[in-house]
Chains A and B, each alone.
Chain A
Amino acid sequence: MKKIIEKFLITSIFVMIIMSTFLSMINVYSQAENIVKIGWGGTSFDTFNPFTTYAQVSGWATSDVYDTLVRFDKTYTKFIPDLAESWEMNSTHVVFHLVKNATFHDGVPVTAYDVNYSFYLASQPWSRLSPNVEGVEKIDIIDNYTIAFKVKSPIIFMLMAATVVPIVPMHIWEKVSDPSTYPDYPPIGSGPFKVVDYKEGQYILLQKNPSFFRRDWIPNVDKIMIVFYSDVTSASNALRAGDIDAVGPYVPVAVVNDLMNDPRFAVFKVRPVLYFYMAFNMYPEGKGNPTLRDPVVRRALAHAVNVSYLAELAWHGYAQPLATVMPTTNIFYDPNLKPYEFNLTLANQLLDQAGYKRGPDGIRVSPNGTPMKYTILVPSNMPELVRVGQQIALWWSQIGVSADVKAMDTGSMASIIWTKVDNKTTLGHDIDIWDWFVAPGDPTILSVFLSNQVIMGTSDSGYVNPEYDSLYQQMLEAKDLDTVKEIAWKMQEMLYRDLPYLPLYQVTAPQAYNKNRITGFDLDWPGGPFGGYDWTVFLKIKIVSPTTSAPATTTTTTGLTTTTSFTATTPVSVSATPIISTSATQVATTTTTATAAPPGISVGTSLIIAIIIIVIIVIGLVIWATTRRGKAS
């Protein structure tokens, strides 16, 4: 009996080993090789309904399924004709002349009535686009292919609505009983791609629309698939295993070295669309520490933060310090602002002059007796932010300010920041560190600092300034781009001076693709080709050669590695301490072991072998020791 059992056990283990080696040797050659596969890590696809989707990947994946009136080019300063072949603007009206040969995927021609109906849907209260079309006062259909918009500001309308509102077929949508819950699958648009397959949480498959009206936009490949992953680490592993050809929105810093050492992959930095900031609760009715409402305190705290050092600490060469509330890729970014100088002496002086005296425990106390003790909230899904918070607390401890870093999930964080008191939303925290993704084409991020934004649950600083509010309104009604820019700069300067936010750094995260497989796209779009902003990547992408089961060792030249591709001048290392320019002494004592490294597997072959050897030795020793004892007794 026991012989049989033992045989069974041994056989089954052998079967497993043989099966996996067998399976690893054979590969099914199928038509999957003609499909370009782009992996996306993080929040997955939500819905095709373009008026209710909030996931970045949803808008991106369908950006070539639906047409808009006009498109941005990669500088976000020029408009490219899409459904509108030309347009005229004066100070109150924008008139679009539509192309006459455009049809939806079901063959029905696109007319001004579809445009009108799409803008009507976009303006509904349930639509995510309703704030974008707020400035539209009246829409006139002049004829089947001409439509006029009466707007408050033509330029704002072009930036925020004409480039954004997808044109959907009226003959389908007007029959939908409740467009707010309409899943819109399969989506019928008029763009160069059709959606032919979608598996929720797995992938979306796009197929080229050969009858697209702009012949020069016809995609180079027949099929593109976007594959969804729970996180960027799994997506990066899939890239290395050859399951997919590219990874967005970024690859974790932990696997960058492995990818760079593999000749199959091109790794490059993207132009930033993400930035991190520190928000001070300065809301007059807020429940946080009242000393933060004093502008001198905020200025002193800002002088006690070295943003260059923090960028290096958190992202190892993939972040740059930032001085304003939008990243450099935004067309309204104000380049005149520079980060506050890191100067602890100055910070101490400012506080001394303002009457914040040190108490017996070394912590400063305000003139009316409130100690400068703060809690810094950070989201726990970004472990590097805990280190950033602790580093800031360390600098502040040298100016007599005590700060306590608390990491929590974003849901709990939001519930502390926007607390309800007597059914009214107010701000309940002291300080938080968080991030914003900012689209390059419009100045909407500035609306976060409007006085009414606390109640809305978007302002985590509680900035209240009627002058700022009226400037924002003026901006939305400005008649030309230069005026919009001028006002946006003025607003950024106000924020820089008043410090509701202390901007920390913007992220130029790495992206990677298999250069033996794909080529042809721009690397310098804001957010990179796979970051969720570039709508041309699907049209331009080309297949280099079919995948083979074994990783290819030769590198085909692509001609892509010229402009923005990753250069090895900045050494990337996960464990190395970043180079420090100032205050080297206090830094050495900081980073505690409390924080985990950002997730990611970067173990080399040698490490695997070492682990196996150690396991074998341990097992051997234990068996030897126990059986010896058994014999003795």
Chain B
Amino acid sequence: MSSRYSRYVVRRFLGAIIAVFAILTINFFIFRILPGNPIELLFRNPRLTDEQIRALEAQFGLDKPLIDQYFIYLINVFQGNLGLSFFYRQPVTSVLMPRMINSLILVLPSTLAAIALGIVAGLISAWRRGSKTDVSILLIGMSLYSLPTFWLGGIFILLSIYYLHLPVSGMLTYGAVYSSWTDLLIDFLRHFILPFITLTLVMFGEFMIIMRNTLIDVLTEDYVTVAIAKGLSQTKILRDYALRNAMLPTISIIAINLGLVVAGAVLTETVFSWPGVGRLIYDAILNRDYPILQGAFLFITISVVIANLIADLLYGLLDPRVRYG
């Protein structure tokens, strides 16, 4: 058994490495396929001389043939050098890292809250299938899932402007000097609460629906019927029979979402002007800042691959069938 598991682990690892290579390649070429010369677009300026354009192109390595650019890119990536941002004229990593931390601060708590709420609500829904509770939870979950994020965020902003008087932009009151840690915490929470609620509500539906549907499948299995017939307690049936089996698909959804945490939340961050990766990506698209986009996508895809790898390994432990598959 253990040798089987280790072979499974090796296979998964190899798969992940191949995936990362494929990502690197696609990541490079996808931005070159986009129409438009970034230099000309970024610096659309009647004063630019031909000489200046050439100098800018040389500065960013755009004067070399595509295939050379590709190998230079690969070598640089392995040396941890993601290049120079077209727009900020700074190394991509130094722009990206602080943003990633800001994103984690917002997105990780929201994702965890959405997962917790989603799983609990899904459980109730499945257990009381067909009841008023089930229908209302399902309806709320579905509507939140289909609501556009910017609309929900916009409603919260309006509520804040007219009633709540909470700040609607940034992480902290810029330029504030705090007398104590509690002041800092309160100021942070005042900025945090609206994007947090928005993001949690938007993600909640997905987890809830997955949990409910898999649980319903499991609850109609024969072994659950037998368990009920045996007169086992509700708690025991739910915990030992239903939840375990329903956990598998939920784990893969959770893994993908936790992997995406570093991506920030493009819409929520833009609506609430949260200085995270999501807003960075949004601005980078507008500015055609390829190196930033490449760097951000690289981090996102690699973290999704890693999260998936962990999910796969967990799967192997939780469900022996996977190892032999």
Q: For the complex formed, measure the closest distance between the CB of A468 and the CB atoms of chain B, giving whole angstroms.
A: 14
- Residues of A near B48 (CB, < 8 A) are 128, 131, 456, 458
Point out the residue from A5, A37, A237, A416 that lies within 8 Å of B175, measured CB to CB.
A37
> In the bound complex, what is the Cα–Cα distance between A479 and B26 (angstroms)?
57
- Distance between Cα atoms of A1 and B89 in the complex (Å): 57
Residues from chain A with a CB closer than 8 A to the CB of B163 are: 24
Q: A615–B158 Cα gap in the complex (Å)? A: 18
The yes or no answer to B221 lying at the interface (CB within 8 A) is: no
Write the A19-51 contact mask toward B (1 if CB under 8 angstroms, else 0): 111011011101110010100000110110100
Verify B50–A456 contact, CB threshold 8 A: yes
Interface residues in A444-501 by Cβ distance below 8 A to B read 444-445, 447-448, 453, 455-458
CB distance from A460 to the nearest CB of B (A): 10
Given the complex, which residues of A lie within 8 Å of B270, measured CB to CB? 230-231, 234
User: Measured between alpha carbons, how far is A180 from B59 in the docked complex, in Å?
Assistant: 9
B288 at the interface (CB under 8 A from A): yes
Stretch at the interface among A198-206, A270-278, A355-363: A198-206
- Chain A, residues 393-416, CB within 8 Å of chain B (1/0): the string is 000000000000000001111111
Which residue of chain B lies nearest to A199 when distances are taken between CB atoms in the complex? Answer: B275
Q: Does A186 contact B (CB under 8 A)?
A: no
Kindly identify which residue among B42, B87, B158, B279 contacts A603, using a CB–CB cutoff of 8 Å. B158
In the complex, residue of chain A having the shortest beta-carbon distance to the beta carbon of B85: A46
User: Interface digits, A96-127 against B, CB 8 Å rule (1 contact, 0 not)?
Assistant: 00000000000000000000000000000111
- Give Cα A35 to B175, complex, Å: 7
A234 to B235, alpha carbons, bound, how many Å?
Answer: 48
Closest CB of chain B to A146's CB: distance in Å?
29
Residues A444 and B47 in contact, CB atoms below 8 Å apart: yes
CA distance A20 to B198 in the complex (A): 12
- A281 interface hit (Cβ, 8 Å): no
Q: Please count how many residues in chain B sit with their CB below 8 Å of the partner chain's CB atoms.
A: 95
**Residue B183 is within 8 A (CB to CB) of chain A in the complex:** yes
- B282 on the A face (CB < 8 A): yes
Known: A26-B186, A30-B178, A550-B165. A202 touches B55 (CB 8 A): no
Interface residues of A in 144-198 (CB under 8 A from B): 180-181, 183, 197
Cross-chain contact B42 with A54 (CB below 8 angstroms): yes
Q: How far is the CA of A24 from the CA of B59 in the complex (A)?
A: 49
Which residues 19-72 in B have Cβ within 8 Å of A in the complex?
34-38, 40-53, 55-56, 59
B273 close to A411 (CB less than 8 A): no
Once A6-B124, A37-B175, A444-B47 are accepted as A-B contacts, the answer to whether A243 and B40 lie under 8 Å apart by CB is no
Question: What is the CA–CA distance of A381 and B285 in the complex, to the nearest angstrom?
Answer: 12
Q: Which of A59-67, A366-374, A621-629 contacts B (4 or more CB under 8 A)?
A: A621-629
A608 on the interface (CB 8 Å rule)? yes
How far apart are B152's CB and chain A's nearest CB, in angstroms?
Answer: 11
Q: Are B186 and A28 in contact (CB under 8 A)?
A: yes
CB 8 Å contact bits of B258-279 with A (1 = contact, 0 = none): 0000000000001111010001
A138 at the interface (CB under 8 A from B): no
Check if B13 is an interface residue, CB within 8 A of chain A: no
Report the stretch among B135-143, B244-252, B295-303, B313-321 that lies at the interface.
B135-143
Distance to closest chain B CB from A494 (angstroms)? 17
Chain B residues in 8 Å Cβ range of A533:
none
State whether A444 touches B46 (Cβ < 8 A): yes
Bitwise, B106-129 to A at CB < 8 A (1) or not (0) is 000000010011001101100110
Q: How far is the CB of B117 from the nearest CB of chain A, in Å?
A: 6
Q: Is A630 an interface residue (CB 8 A)?
A: yes
Which of A8-16, A83-91, A209-217, A557-565 is found at the contact surface with chain B? Answer: A8-16
Chain B residues, CB < 8 A from A455 = 50
Answer yes or no: B90 CB below 8 A from chain A CBs.
Answer: yes
> Which of B2-10, B189-197, B304-312 binds A?
B189-197
- Chain B residues with Cβ under 8 A from A44's Cβ? 283
Which chain A residues border B47 with CB–CB below 8 Å? 128, 131-132, 444, 447
Q: Does any Cβ of B come within 8 Å of A418's Cβ?
A: yes
Residue pair B139, A23 in contact (C-beta under 8 Å)? no
Among the listed stretches A221-229, A294-302, A520-528, which one makes contact with chain B, having 4 or more residues with CB under 8 Å of it?
A: A221-229
Q: Is the CB of B120 within 8 A of A9?
A: yes
User: By the criterion of a CB under 8 Å from any partner CB, how many residues of chain A are at the interface?
Assistant: 93
Contacts of B55 in A (CB 8 A): 125-126, 180
Q: How far is the CA of A29 from the CA of B229 in the complex (A)?
A: 63
Tell me, rounded to whole Å, the shortest Cβ–Cβ distance linking B208 to chain A.
11
A205, B159: Cβ atoms under 8 Å? no
Cβ contact within 8 Å between A202 and B175: no
Q: Which of A9, A445, A619, A627 interacts with B139 by CB under 8 Å?
A: A619
Minimal beta-carbon separation of B293 from chain A (angstroms): 12
Q: Does A424 contact B (CB under 8 A)?
A: no
Please tell me if B215 contacts chain A, counting CB pairs below 8 Å. Answer: no
Within 8 A of A (CB), among B169-228: 169-170, 173-179, 183, 186-187, 189-190, 193-194, 197
Shortest Cβ distance from A619 into B: residue: B139
Contact status B170-A202, CB under 8 Å:
yes
User: Do B120 and A458 touch (CB < 8 A)?
Assistant: no
Q: Give the distance in Å from the alpha carbon of A5 to the alpha carbon of B136 in the complex.
A: 16
Bound Cα distance from A206 to B93, whole angstroms: 26
The residue of chain A having its C-beta at the shortest distance from the C-beta of B239 within the complex is A1
Known: A415-B35, A605-B162. A241 touches B168 (CB 8 A): yes
Residue A238 lies at the interface, judged by CB distance under 8 Å to chain B? yes
Of B36, B120, B133, most A-chain CB atoms within 10 Å: B36
Please name the residue on chain B nearest to A9 by beta carbon: B120
B132 touches A414 (CB 8 A): no
Known contacts A49-B89, A458-B45; A20/B37 CB under 8 A: no
Given contacts A225-B175, A627-B131, contact A412 B89 (CB under 8 A): no
Contact of B99 among A1, A2, A201, A415 (CB under 8 A): A201
Cα A611 to Cα B35 in complex, Å, equals 42
B145-170 contact mask (Cβ, 8 Å, vs A): 1 or 0? 00000000011011111111111111
Contact in complex: B186, A238 (CB < 8 Å)? no
Collect the chain A residues with CB atoms within 8 Å of residue B234's CB.
1-2
Whether A30 contacts B275 by the Cβ 8 Å rule is no
Residues of chain A lying within 8 A (CB to CB) of residue B43:
54, 128
Is B174 a contact of A623 with CB atoms below 8 Å?
no
The residue from A241, A456, A615 contacting B169, defined by CB atoms under 8 A apart = A241
Indicate whether B255 reaches chain A with its CB closer than 8 angstroms: no
Which residues of chain A come closer than 8 Å to B130, judged between CB atoms? 626, 630
Check if A457 sits within 8 Å of B158, measured CB to CB. no
Bound-complex Cα distance A203 to B35 (A): 32
Is B238 on the interface with A (CB-CB < 8 A)?
yes
Say whether, besides A238-B168, A619-B140, A225 and B174 are in contact (CB < 8 Å). Answer: yes
> Is there contact, CB below 8 Å, between A622 and B173?
no
* Given contact pairs A603-B158, A627-B131, a sample of 16 additional A-B residue pairs in the complex whose CB atoms are under 8 Å apart: A2-B128, A9-B124, A16-B197, A32-B173, A32-B177, A52-B89, A125-B49, A202-B170, A229-B169, A241-B161, A411-B38, A416-B35, A453-B46, A611-B155, A619-B140, A623-B136
Q: List 12 A-B contacts (CB under 8 A).
A: A1-B239, A32-B173, A128-B52, A202-B174, A234-B271, A242-B167, A411-B35, A411-B41, A414-B40, A415-B35, A418-B40, A447-B46
User: What are the 5 tightest A-B residue pairs by CB atom distance, in nearest-first order?
Assistant: A411-B36, A415-B35, A30-B176, A1-B235, A32-B176
Chain B positions near chain A (C-beta within 8 angstroms): 34-38, 40-53, 55-56, 59, 84, 87-90, 95, 98-99, 113, 116-117, 120-121, 123-124, 127-128, 130-133, 135-136, 139-140, 143, 154-155, 157-170, 173-179, 183, 186-187, 189-190, 193-194, 197, 234-235, 238-239, 270-273, 275, 279-280, 282-283, 286-288
